[in-house]
Amino acid sequence: MKKAVAIATLLVAAGCSGTSSTGSAASSTLTVFAASSLTAAFDRIGNDFMTANPGITVTFNFGSSTDLASQIQSEGTADVFASASGSAMDSVASDPGVTDRTNFATNRLVIITPPDDPAGIASIADLAKPGVQLVLAAKGVPVGDYARQSLTSAGLLSEAMKNVVSNEDDDASVVAKVTSGEADAGIVYASDVTAAGNAVRSVTIPAAVNVVASYPIAVVAGSTQTEAATSFLNEVVGPAGQATLKDFGFGPAP
């Protein structure tokens, strides 16, 4: 499902003759398609970027990386794509094409439960207990595929899938199901736990069966804002952007 989130516009005052750090005095809009797990971190990075570049409005479209790739191919409206999946980026690289592709962060899986943990989830093995209401992202959604990969590595996929009560569009929707009390547990990214704060309880997935996701970012071919798009990409991979990503639970680029 498409989820559009627009950051507030920073306008250049009428009559101002100064230029932004991207070299243009005219106002412009930069459209960034980004994985939903990046929402909180990119909101901050976007605001920092606009403060440094008066006249540029950054508008985000957050959602499943797979869905976003399809939207880019059908609509052609993105200037920058930041994905939680290398394969989704590969798809966009093939059509319509990308430039300046680079990995900028990593993420790992965790289990979340409501704070009172009604099902008594203490380990990944508990997700296979009879009666546990488990929610995952759907197949084809990166975090959903990663979750199934982790459960397979743990030898739990068959039993755990019997407990799945909902397959969601993205990790944000998994978090919402758990925080609303509609599920006993879900598998999401570590960054989702940081963003959710006290609204969820987390359970570690052992490294031996965990999945580390690598996040690529690139400028989308056909963008009419290539200079601003490249500047935003540099903000993400630069020291300030990396510090923000770390604050929100992401690991460094591989």
Q: Which tens digits make up the pLDDT trace of 184-233? A: 999 999 999 999 999 999 999 999 999 999 999 999 999 999 999 999 99
Give the pLDDT mean for 36-55: 97
Answer for the pair 109, 147: CB distance below 8 angstroms, yes or no. Answer: yes
Q: H or E segment at 110?
A: strand 98-113
Sign of the C-alpha dihedral computed for residues 163, 168, 170 and 174 taken in this order: negative
With CA atoms as reference, report the closest residue to 215 among 149, 112, 167, 146.
146
Best CATH choice for the domain 3-106+214-247 from the list 1.20.210.10, 3.30.9.10, 3.40.190.10, 3.10.580.10? 3.40.190.10
Q: Does residue 6 register a pLDDT over 80? A: no
Topology adopted by domain 108-204: D-Maltodextrin-Binding Protein; domain 2 (3.40.190)
Give the pLDDT mean for 165-171: 96
pLDDT value of position 27: 80
pLDDT value of position 37: 96
List the chain domain ranges.
3-106+214-247, 108-204
Q: Does residue 119 register a pLDDT over 50? A: yes
Intrachain domains 3-106+214-247 and 108-204 with the same fold: yes
Answer for the pair 37, 107: CB distance below 8 angstroms, yes or no. Answer: yes
Name the pLDDT band for 7 (thresholds 50, 70, 90): very low
pLDDT value of position 26: 58
Answer for the pair 81, 64: CB distance below 8 angstroms, yes or no. Answer: no
pLDDT value of position 16: 36
DSSP helix/strand/coil, 63: strand
- pLDDT tens profile 233-249: 999 999 999 999 999 99
Report pTM.
Answer: 0.86
Q: Does residue 125 register a pLDDT over 90? A: yes
